[in-house]
């Protein structure tokens, strides 16, 4: 299972090795990016694209298509205020 950058590298490797064509690589990466951006395709196409990914050994991490936003300022502030900050176990 992998994230989009890792999957993109895997697709590029398969393209370089001749396992897939440029057209296949663009279709796979295009599907992944559009799904991430919230531009879904038809149900049959979605299943077909996911099957293509699995057949190429490209498994998207669970929940990968769900957008996650993290406010790092809040996370860092909570970490710095924690009594465990700086403890060495």
Residue 72: the pLDDT is 72
Instruction: Please state the pTM of the whole predicted model.
Output: 0.61
pLDDT tens for the 89 residues of the chain, in order: 677 788 888 899 999 999 999 999 999 999 988 887 888 899 999 999 989 988 888 877 655 544 445 567 887 888 888 877 766 55
Contacts (Cβ under 8 Å, ≥6 apart) of 27: 49, 52
Instruction: Using alpha carbons, list the distances in angstroms from residue 77 to 29, 72, 73, 83, 87.
Output: 37, 8, 6, 12, 16
| pLDDT at residue number 66 | 46
Q: How many CB atoms lie within 10 A of CB 11?
A: 22
Q: Domain-by-domain residue ranges, the chain?
A: 4-81
Which residues, at least 6 apart from 41, have a Cβ–Cβ distance to it below 8 Å?
Answer: 31, 34, 35, 49
Beta pairing partners, 2: 60
| pLDDT confidence of residue 80 | 82
């Amino acid at each position: 299972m992998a994230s989009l950058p890792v999957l993109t590298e895997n697709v590029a490797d398969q393209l370089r090795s001749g396992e897939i064509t440029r057209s296949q690589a663009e279709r796979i990466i295009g599907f992944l990016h559009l799904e991430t951006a919230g531009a879904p395709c038809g149900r049959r196409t979605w299943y077909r694209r996911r099957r293509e990914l699995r057949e190429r050994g490209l498994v998207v991490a669970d929940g990968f298509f769900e957008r996650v936003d993290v406010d790092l300022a809040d996370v860092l502030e909570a970490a710095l205020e924690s009594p465990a900050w700086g403890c060495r176990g």
